[in-house]
Structure 1
Amino acid sequence: MSQHHVVRMMFLLGSASTALLVGCGPQETVAPQESLGSERQEIVGGSDTSISTHPWQISFQSTSGGAFCGGSILNERWILTAQHCVYEGGFAVTSPSTVRIAAGSSKLSTMDSEGQIRFVDDVISFPGFAGVKKGKDVALLHLSKPLTFNGKVAPIALATAEDEAAGLTAPGVISTVTGWGDLSYNGSSPDALQAVDVPLLSHEDADAAYPEVITADQLGAGLIGVGGIDSCHGDSGGPLIVSKGSGKVLAGVVSWGSGCAAPAYPGMYARVSHFQPWISSFLKRSPTIRLNTTNQSGGEGAWKHYRVSIPSGLEVFNVHISGGTGDADLYVQHGSQPTEGSFTCRPYANGNGETCSIPHPAAGTWFISVLGYSSFSGLRVHATSY
C-alpha cells in the first residue's frame, strides 16, 4: 500500500492479521490500496482524553488483545465499525472466532482489568463493498454477550438524514475523532485514548482533494492547506462525532486518507446518515440459527457436506467454521454442492476460523461444505441469518 492511499487500520503481530493475510492456498486478490495490515493509523494532533467523555468508543482487537481498529457502541449487543477492518475479499469476512471488542477503559493496557471484554459472534457487512475509496465502508459486529452500560460504557445515537438537513454535518462544523491510532504517520501508538477536533468539509472540497470520485456516502474532515490534525493508522472504524443540542451523535466512521494529517488530503469517513436506515434495521434483531454442529472431523482432501433451507427476504446469511485443530476450508454455494472450482464463497484462510457473509441470499437450499486442506478435528460448523 502506498503512502497516498492509507486504510486507517493497524495490525499487531499475532493479531487478526494472521487470519486476514495468510491463507492455505491461492487467495482472492485485493487491490493494493485496500491490502490489510500494511499500514497503521492513529489520531494526529490530538491529546489524551477520558473514556467517560467518549463511552461509546471501543477497541476492536484480536482474541489475544492486539488492537487493530476502533468502533462505536450502538446498543448492548451491536457495534459499528469500518468494513475494511473485517473484509477478506468477495463474501469472506473476518471470522468472529478470531476477534473481540474491549470497552470501558481509557487505556489499552487496562482494558482487561478495568474494562469489559466481549467476544463477537457475527459480522454483518454492508452490501457491495469494493474498497474504501468507493465507499460503503461500514460493518456491524454482533456481540455474544451484552455489554453492561455505566459511566464508561454507553451507546451513541446515529446521525440521520434529518440531522444532516438541519446542518449538523455542514461544512465548517467542528467534529471530534477519537481512537488509539498512531500519533503521526508511521509513528508510535499511544496507550491512552486520543481525541482531536477537526472541521467538516463540503463534498465538493473533499472530492477536489483526491483524484478518485468521492461517493456521496463519504464525509471529509480536516484543514486543507494546513493539515496537522487527523485520524491515522489504528483509528479505522472509530467514531467521528458532532454535537446535537446538549448531546452527541455519530456522524462518521474512520475510513481512509492519503497519509495522516497531510495538508493537501483530508481524512475520509463513512457518512453515517447515509447508512442509518440499514444500521437501525439490525439493532433490534437477533440471529436465527440455521445450522449448529460441533466436533466435526475429516481427513486431508475429504469433504463434509451440510445443507440448509433459506427463506426469501433475508438481509444476510452467515456461515462460520471455528475451533478444533488442523486446517479445514469452508465452501458455500446456493443450489448445488460446491466444488474446489465452483462456489459462492470460499475464504481459504489458514486454520479453522473462516466466515462467509452473504447479503440478500437467494431463497432455497444452500450447501455448506468443508474440505480438509489437512486433517482436522473438533470443528464447529455454524450458520445464522438475519
Structure 2
Amino acid sequence: MKVIQTKWLPLSIYAVGLSSMPVLADISPQIINGNEAAKGSWPFMVALVSKNVDAYEGQFCGASFIGERYVLTAAHCIEASSNQDFEVVIGVSDLSSPDVEQHRYSVEQIYAHESYTQEPASNDIAIIELSEKPAEPTVSLVDGYVRDNLNAGQMLTVIGWGDQNSSEEQYSSTSQLHQVNVPLVSQRDCNLGQGDGYSDIGADAFCAGYKEGGRDSCSGDSGGPIMISTNGHYEQLGLVSWGEGCAQPEAYGVYTNISHFADWIGKKTAGFSYQTKVMLGARPLGPIEHKFEFTNKSDQEINVTNVSLAAGTNDPITYNGSAIIKSNSCATLSPNEGCDVVVSYNIDSVGKHDFGIKVSTDSLAGVVTSKAHAIGANEVSDTVNALVTIPKNAVYSTEAWDVEGNTIASPDIANNKSTAFIVDGIPAGTVSLDLSVFSEEKHDYMEIYINGFEVSAFAGLLSGTVELPMARAKDNSFMIAYSKDEVGSAGHDRVTIKNFAYSNEIKELSLVEDPTIKKTGGSMGWYWLAMLLGGAMMRKLLLSLKRKGTQ
C-alpha cells in the first residue's frame, strides 16, 4: 500500500460506458469508503501510467476504453503530457499483477477539448488515441439525452485506484481497483456546494455524492468513469473531474457530463489522426521548418478540402506573422494513408513563438488545428556550458545568465519581463541540481518545464536539491524560467542553479529543501506532488479549490 504524508493534488475523471456488461452484484464495503472490485469486473477500465515506470507506482489517472483505438479521460490528466510521456493499461484490476505488461499500450495522439479551462473548471474531457487497437472489451457511453432525464438520487458507480483516505494530510492506496456507489445530485444543489467553483458548474458537468460526505472518488481517480446501471448493463455517464477535498460534507464530487460532449467525442474518434500540439523546444534565432503530419486511420476515404495557416488563432505576442506553407501533400487520403504540410517560420526574437495550420476535411472530424510551439534562444557561453556537467546536446538562454564561481544565476530583468535557461538533448535518466529562488512572494515566479510542459511554479524564497526525471528514450529537455510582475521587488529577485549531476536511472521528481534556508511564499504547485507520486494523488489541490487529478 502507498501511504504518503502530504496530499495536495487535483483530480478529474472522464469515463466511457460499458457495452453489454452485466450488472455486477453488490460487494460489501471499503476510492473513499468503497469496496475492492472483483477481478475482471470492469474490463474496460484504464490506468494512465508514466512511461518507463512500474504500472502501480506510475499510475496517475483513470480512463475508459471506448472502442477501436480510443480511450476517454479528463483533459486535466493529460494537459501537461505528450504521447511520449505515458502509456495506458487496460482491463487489469491489480496494477501489481504479473500480466500488466500484456495489457499496456503506447499512445499515438492526445486530443484535449479545445475550450478546456482549469479555473473555472469546464470542458474537462480528452480523447487518447492508441498506437494499436486493443483486444479488451469496451464500455458504452450514454447518449446525448440521458443525463437530463435522470432524477436526483439515482445511484451511480465510480471506480478507480485513487486515494482511500479522506484526510488532507495523508494519501493511501493499493494496487487493487476499488469502486463506490454515490447518488446523483440535482444541478441546483450541485451549484450550492460548499467551496469555490460549484456555483460556476454548467451543463458540461454534474455532481454526485452525499450531503453529509463519507463516500466519494478521490486523488488518482481522475479521468475514470462514473456509471449508471441501465436495463441490466452499465453505461458510462461521466468522468471524475474535481471536488473540494474528498468525501467532505456538502462538497460533492464533480463529474464531466458525457451526454454534453457526444458530438465532440464523435469528431475526435472519426479516424483523422494528427498532433494537436507539438513542443519544439529551444531553437536558435532564424528560420525553421516543421512538418505537420496527418493520417487517415478510418476505414473510409477522407478528402482534405483546405489547408491554411492558423495565424488568426495565435497570440500576437508569440506569433510574428512570418509563417509560410512551403509544401502540402494533403488531398484525398485512402484508409491508412498519410500526408504532410511543411511550414516555415522565422524565429526573430527570444521568447515564446507558436505557429500552426488549419486542415478542413469532409469527414466527421471537420476542421482541425495543429500547432507548433518553440522558444527562441541563444546558446550560452562556454563558461556557462562547462558548468552544466550532464550529457546533453546544447544549453540555451533567452538572456545571458551570469556565472558566480560554480553557480549560474539569472540576469537582472525589468518588471513584467522573463528569462529562461534551457538544457536540451538529455538521454533517459534523472538530472539533479541545486536550485535557489529569491523572489517577491505571490508576484514573481520561478517555473520549471520538462519536455515543454510546466511541472512547477514557485514564488518566494526556496533553496534545495531538485531531481528531474527525463522519461523519454532520448532528446529530453528542461527549462527554468523566472518572471517578474509589473511592479515591486524583493530579495535578490533571481534564480541560481549549480551542482548538476546525471543518473541513467529514472527517479521520481523530488525537491529536498535546504533546512538552513527559511522557505516563504507560494507552493511549488500541485504538479510537483503529482509527478513526485507518479501522479497518483490527483484530487487534492493545494489551493482552496481542490481538483481531482492532473499531471
> 178, 182, 204: which one pairs with 2:163?
182
Change (3 A) 1:219 1:308: same
What does residue 115 of structure 2 align with?
128
Structure 1 stretch displaced more, 241-250 or 368-377:
368-377
Structure 2 SS opposite 1:188? strand
Q: Judging changes above 3 Å, is the alpha-carbon distance between structure 1 residues 239 and 134 closer, same or farther for their aligned structure 2 residues?
A: same
Match of 2:69 in 1: 77
Tell me what 1:45 maps to. Answer: 33
Equivalent AA in structure 2 for residue 205 of structure 1: D
Q: Distance in 2 between matches of 1:115 and 1:379?
A: 27
1:162 corresponds in structure 2 to 145
- Residue in structure 2 matched with residue 263 of structure 1 by the alignment: 249
What is residue 340 of structure 1 aligned with on the other side? 350
Q: Distance in 2 between matches of 1:182 and 1:257?
A: 13
Question: Quick one: structure 1 residues 219 and 343, their matched pair in 2 at CA, closer, same or farther if it must change by over 3 Å?
Answer: same
Deviation at 1:159, TM superposition (A): 1.4
The superposition leaves residues 89-124 of structure 1 with CA deviations (integer Å, 9 ceiling, x where unpaired) of: xxxxx1110100112221111165475000112110
The structural deviation recorded for 1:308 is 4.6
Alpha carbons of 1:95 and 1:303: their partners in 2 closer, same or farther (altered >3 Å)?
Answer: farther
Computing the radius of gyration from Cα coordinates, the structure with the larger value is 2
When the two chains are superposed, the root-mean-square deviation of aligned CA atoms in Å is: 3.8
Residues 354 and 373 in structure 2, CA contact (< 8 A), matched pair in contact too: no
Partner of 1:327: none
Distance of 1:280 and 1:156 partners within structure 2: 15
Report if aligned partners of 1:219, 1:270 keep a CA contact under 8 Å in 2: yes
Report the equivalent of 1:57. Answer: 45
Summarize the Cα distance change of 1:98–1:73 in structure 2 as closer, same or farther, 3 Å threshold.
same
Are 2:89 and 2:100, in contact at CA under 8 Å, matched by a contact in 1?
no
Please give the secondary structure, in 2, of the residue aligned with 1:248.
strand
Structure 1 position 7, deviation (Å): 2.0
- Say which SS state the counterpart of residue 255 (structure 1) adopts: strand
- Corresponding position of 2:288: 305
Q: Could you say which residue in structure 1 is the equivalent of 2:497?
A: none
Gaps (5+ residues) in structure 1?
11-41, 89-93, 318-330, 347-358, 381-386
In the alignment, the residues of structure 1 paired with residue 126 and residue 243 of structure 2 have an alpha-carbon distance, to the nearest angstrom, of: 19
Determine the C-alpha separation between the residues in 2 that align with 1:289 and 1:299: 19
Q: Deviations over 1:242-281 (max 9, x none)?
A: 0121212110100110111011210000011001111122
| 1:151-181 deviation line (CA, Å, top 9, x unaligned) | xxx111111223234x3x4311100000000
- Give the corresponding residue for 2:89: 102
Cα deviation 1:179-205 (Å, max 9, x = unaligned): 000101333112110000000011111
**TM-aligned CA deviation for residue 55 of structure 1:** 1.3
- Give the share of equivalent positions with the same residue, in percent: 27
C-alpha contact 1:222 1:229 (8 A) present in aligned 2: yes
TM-score, scaled relative to structure 1: 0.68
Tell me, in whole angstroms, the C-alpha distance in 2 between the residues paired with 1:362 and 1:192: 39
Residue in 1 aligned with 2:214? 228
Alignment partner of 1:67 is 2:55 = no
What whole-Å deviation, never above 9, does each CA across 1:121-172 have from its counterpart, x for those lacking one?
21101111121643110011111122112xxxx111111223234x3x4311
Q: Taking CA–CA contacts closer than 8 Å with sequence separation of 6 or more, which of the two structures ends up with the larger relative contact order?
A: 1
Change (3 A) 1:340 1:275: farther
Conserved? CA contact 1:306–1:367, under 8 Å: no
Alpha-carbon distance between aligned partners in 1 of 2:286 and 2:176, rounded to the nearest angstrom: 48
**Cα distance in 2, alignment partners of residues 129 and 301 from structure 1:** 32
For 1:279, give the aligned amino acid.
I
Would the aligned equivalents of 2:63 and 2:72 in 1 still touch at CA under 8 Å? yes
Query: What TM-score do you get using the length of structure 2 for normalisation?
Result: 0.49
TM-aligned CA distance change 1:86 to 1:200, over 3 Å: same
Residue 279 of structure 1 corresponds to which residue in structure 2?
A: 265
* Match for residue 152 of structure 2 among 171, 174, 187: 171
